[in-house]
Structure 1
Amino acid sequence: MQSNLERFKAFYKTASLWSGTLLGLEQFGLSNFIFDHLKDQESLDLPVIPQGTLLGKRAEYFFKFCVEQSSNYQLLLSNIQIFKGKITKGELDYVIKDLRTNSTIHIELVYKFYIYNPTITSTEKSPVLQELNKYQGPNGRDNLVRKLEHLKNHQLPLLYTAEAVELLKSHDIAVEKIKQQVCFLAHVFIPHQLWDHKFKYIHKSSITGYYYKSSAFAKAETENTYFLPEKYAWKMTPQELLTSYTFHEALALTNDSLERGFAPLLWMQLTDKSFETFFVVK
């Protein structure tokens, strides 16, 4: 498997889902970080991430590392639990300081994998929401519009609750001076026939693969080699793993995974040793 440095590079290469502002949410891109002062990548003191750490939590480790290693930002607080009595109201991901402008920013980090399904219809009146509603999690249990609404209506407003204001005040941080942004990173998988389609509202660079319906994958037999990475490795650059599969072996494993309610990600190695990445969904 790849080294910790390669895992970090894979995280850092993940594209923002959009640029600028979408539905009132301002994007904070990883390209904002300046690392010019770092000369030797191999000697970086990378975060130690426990085995089995979920994909989203791994992203949190790496984002914090980016802030700490950058020359233009300072980490003030991270993963701040907000309590009302003994009840947890939520968590603020990061509060950082822009050393160039001396401004303070509250950032919520999101790291997602989405399937773009053009057949989904929506009762939303807004054309923007109608389009964004077509982005769903591979297992159908997640939805981009719901996530954006949760950010707008719960995660970002948490900053202005009395409990958060008091906690930040204890760290000499004035809430009224804080700017709010989201670092929304995503890998989008689309139908193969839409590869040249011009997508509205999202970065084309966030499209990293395609997907098959399970019935279509069953008819897509090849002599290529297949690998099924664990979920924590989904963001990684496709590579040869210890265990490889033929098409029929991969098909059986894929069907078993779908029966358990989980859409698998596959890396398919072609004869020229290049890779294609795709999901198989119900």
Structure 2
Amino acid sequence: MSLNSKEIQLQFEGFLNTPKLWTTTSVYTLKQFKFELKNTLPFNGNILKNQRLGKRVESFVSFVLNQTDSCKILIENAQIQNNKTTLGELDCILLQNNTPVHLEVIYKFYLYDKTVGKNEIEHWIGPNRKDSLVAKLNKLKEKQLPILFSSFTKPLLKKLNIDIATIHQQVLFKAQLFTPYNKEKPKFNLLNKECVKGFYIHYNQLSQFNDCKFYIPTKLNWLQEIRVPIRWLTYEPFLHKIEILIQQKTAPLCWLKHPNGNTEKFFVVWW
């Protein structure tokens, strides 16, 4: 197995091990897709070079669905167009136990900021404050899912021999959540607290970890669980790399190894 395929396998396993953002009830009327995951699967699906993280996750989902007896993919990444204007894209239409499902796949990283919004959903934002959980849920509910009912989608459904009245709309929404360092943990009523994977801290507060070691994974490797046999950085070289990213107003995901060997994921933020 090449280094690249090893990294992809670790990304795949990280994806499998990431919990769904909610499990029991629907959130914003959005229901999570339920299917059995074979956690021991070796990944041997097709991966495009330089694929962005969201598309790689879609490739992982496609691979798992194709290994699932109860599921049959009918079409993926179907662009819905009005002449030359693209109205949107349907991630996947499949049959699950012969029931048609329109599935949208989402994988996100959110940080908890109590100063943003007024409720549990609204407090979760993107690492660079450019996006938020509530914005994504609204986009799903108001833009992405309704494309199925567009008149421009009818020819596709007819081709697939699907009656729109029988199709279920669901999401596979997985996420890694991060809470402020050394602050009171948020309460989870709607969301799944098992999604909490670490903490975040402001760049100016890093000195308290000067006896630790660090690693800055590439964006695609944000999916991975922490690997111990890697080239860890000591504090000064790590700080130098982080300074460059912070100046660009980029909040990186990092791995931390304490002197006692314990490891944690964390974001360094500039805001």
Determine the structure 1 residue equivalent to 2:104. 108
User: 2:120 touches 2:188 (CA, 8 Å); kept in 1?
Assistant: no
Aligned residues: 265
Determine the structure 2 residue equivalent to 1:28. 33
Deviation of 1:229 after TM superposition, in Å, equals 0.4
Deviation of 1:132 after TM superposition, in Å, equals 1.3
Deviation of 1:271 after TM superposition, in Å, equals 3.0
Q: Which of 202, 219, 229 lines up with 2:217 in the alignment?
A: 229
Determine the structure 2 residue equivalent to 1:182. 171
The 1:228/1:241 distance shift into structure 2, 3 A limit, reads farther
User: 1:116 touches 1:135 (CA, 8 Å); kept in 2?
Assistant: yes
Match status 1:10 vs 2:6: no
Stretches of structure 1 that go unaligned for 5 or more consecutive residues are 123-129
Q: For 1:35 and 1:249, locate their aligned partners in 2 and report how far apart those are by CA, in whole Å.
A: 40
Q: For 2:230 and 2:181, locate their aligned partners in 1 and report how far apart those are by CA, in whole Å.
A: 28
1:125-144 matches, cutoff 5 A: 130-144=119-133
- TM-score (norm: length of structure 2): 0.91
Match status 1:245 vs 2:233: yes
Stretches of structure 2 that go unaligned for 5 or more consecutive residues are none
AA matched with 2:14: A
Q: For 2:188 and 2:121, locate their aligned partners in 1 and report how far apart those are by CA, in whole Å.
A: 10
1:146-165 matches, cutoff 5 A: 146-165=135-154
Deviation of 1:152 after TM superposition, in Å, equals 0.5
Deviation of 1:240 after TM superposition, in Å, equals 4.2
1:31-75 deviation digits (Å, cap 9, x = unpaired):
x22549xxx845x6x113133211111101000111101111111
Q: For 1:149 and 1:121, locate their aligned partners in 2 and report how far apart those are by CA, in whole Å.
A: 14
Deviation of 1:200 after TM superposition, in Å, equals 2.7
Deviation of 1:247 after TM superposition, in Å, equals 1.2
Determine the structure 1 residue equivalent to 2:246. 258
Q: For 1:195 and 1:236, locate their aligned partners in 2 and report how far apart those are by CA, in whole Å.
A: 27
- TM-score (norm: length of structure 1): 0.87
Q: For 1:132 and 1:75, locate their aligned partners in 2 and report how far apart those are by CA, in whole Å.
A: 31
User: 1:16 touches 1:186 (CA, 8 Å); kept in 2?
Assistant: yes
Determine the structure 2 residue equivalent to 1:72. 70
The 1:75/1:141 distance shift into structure 2, 3 A limit, reads same
The root-mean-square deviation of aligned C-alpha atoms, in Å, is 2.0
Determine the structure 2 residue equivalent to 1:204. 193
AA matched with 1:66: V
User: 2:216 touches 2:252 (CA, 8 Å); kept in 1?
Assistant: yes
Deviation of 1:270 after TM superposition, in Å, equals 2.4
Q: For 1:241 and 1:257, locate their aligned partners in 2 and report how far apart those are by CA, in whole Å.
A: 25
User: 2:7 touches 2:221 (CA, 8 Å); kept in 1?
Assistant: no
User: 1:227 touches 1:241 (CA, 8 Å); kept in 2?
Assistant: no
User: 2:99 touches 2:167 (CA, 8 Å); kept in 1?
Assistant: yes
The 1:34/1:16 distance shift into structure 2, 3 A limit, reads closer
Determine the structure 1 residue equivalent to 2:52. 54
User: 2:80 touches 2:87 (CA, 8 Å); kept in 1?
Assistant: yes
